[in-house]
Amino acid sequence: MSLRVVFMGTPDFAVPTLAEIVGQGHEIVAVYTREPAAAGRGMDLKPSPVHRMAERFGLPVFTPKTLRTEEAAETFRSLDADVAVVVAYGMILPKAILEAPHLGCLNLHASLLPRWRGAAPIQRAIMAGDKETGVAVMKMEEGLDTGPVAMVEKSAIAPDMTAGELHDKLMVLGADLMVRALAALSRGGLSFTPQPEEGVTYAHKLKNEDARIDWSKPAQAVHDHIRGLSPFPGAFFTADFGKGQERVKILKTMPGKGSGEAGTLLDGDGSVSCGDGAVRLLQVQRAGKGPVAFDEFLRGVRIGPGARFS
């Protein structure tokens, strides 16, 4: 049986789920997404990835600034939806919205709840050195990712996997999981299990200071930090290449050789000493330039072994 679905999502991560729901024959009565944002050099208003996909399918799109007005609630209720599917929408749903669909609101979350509730579960899982994560379909309630869970799909995190690679893997797994959940829901066979009280962690929103590399940490922690922020926003260090302090992002590393004072470039191959051990820089990016291999980066700056990164 097909369902009347309101889809609520914004970034690339949500696009495969929208496409899969359409492909399964459910009726998308509306798509809610964040309003177009200024982007690019001209700062032109750019619709979200979900907005663009919805227009390709000819679906009605809503971009309210807030859902906390009676007008917004009445508009939502008038859609007479069976279920709302929420994937990285970017706005908190008030009680009036949560209670409007006949069968509730389902959220696709990129972690194995209750670990990594919150805004940045993919990055935080890698930064913490987790070996496994996954996606979960949860029934939404007013708390932050606290609702009961219906289905999960686990995924290993490889030792060198970046946040970008894990993002792309989980968005495909998540799309498949959500359409399976909707199929069960349409048959009346979707059951929910309350989240355990043990093991709760929070994936706090990333701030600029989270991206600075702390070379005093062990090499494994530095490696996990870098890959957890690659390619965006990118973990960074600062150094003086002759024109004052400059910020450089590191996008890819591997175990390095040698030891020394934390943050010291040890050799021409890109090994940098950490609090314990060293990491080897493989790919970096200077401000305003594209990513390059570290040896190519070295040819463009006046530094060598002994240089200090902070």
Q: Which residue is it, tokens 């959940």?
A: 181
Q: ∠248-160-163 over CA atoms, to 5°?
A: 65
- Local structure of 301: helix, strand or coil: coil
Q: Tokens 């959220």 — which residue?
A: 107
Alpha helices in the chain (DSSP H): 15-23, 49-56, 70-78, 95-98, 121-127, 163-186, 219-228, 294-299
Residue 166 token pair: 């894990």
Asked if residue 148 belongs to a known ligand binding site, the reply is: no
Determine the distance from the C-alpha atom of residue 271 to the mean position of all C-alpha atoms in its chain, rounded to a whole number.
Answer: 29
Task: Kindly state which CATH superfamily the domain 208-299 is placed in.
Answer: Formyl transferase, C-terminal domain (3.10.25.10)
Dist. CA 244–CA 305, nearest whole Å: 19
Q: How far apart are CA 195 and CA 13, in angstroms?
A: 24
| pLDDT tens string 103-147 | 999 999 999 999 999 999 999 999 999 999 999 999 999 999 999
Q: What is the per-residue pLDDT for 241? A: 86
- Domain(s) labelled CATH 3.40.50.170 in the chain stretch across 4-202
* pLDDT at residue 45 tops 90: no
In angstroms, the CA 221 to CA 279 distance is 10
Which pLDDT does position 234 carry in this prediction?
97
User: ∠ CA 144-73-21 to the nearest 5 degrees?
Assistant: 70
Q: Among 50-64, 121-135, 208-222, 287-301, which is the least confidently predicted range?
A: 287-301
Q: Say if residue 114 carries a ligand binding annotation.
A: yes
Q: Residue 233 class from Cβ within 10 Å (0-12 exposed, 13-18 middle, 19+ buried)?
A: middle
Q: Is residue 111 a known part of a binding site?
A: yes
In the chain, residues under CATH classification 3.10.25.10 are 208-299
Q: Is 64 annotated as a binding residue?
A: no
State the CATH class of domain 4-202.
Answer: alpha beta
What pLDDT score was predicted for residue 242? 81
Report pLDDT digits (tens) over 232-270: 999 999 998 888 899 999 999 999 999 999 999 999 999
The pLDDT, as a whole number, for residue 294 is: 95
Burial 135-146 (b: 16+ CB within 10 A, else e): bbbbbbbeeebe
Mean pLDDT for all residues in the chain? 96
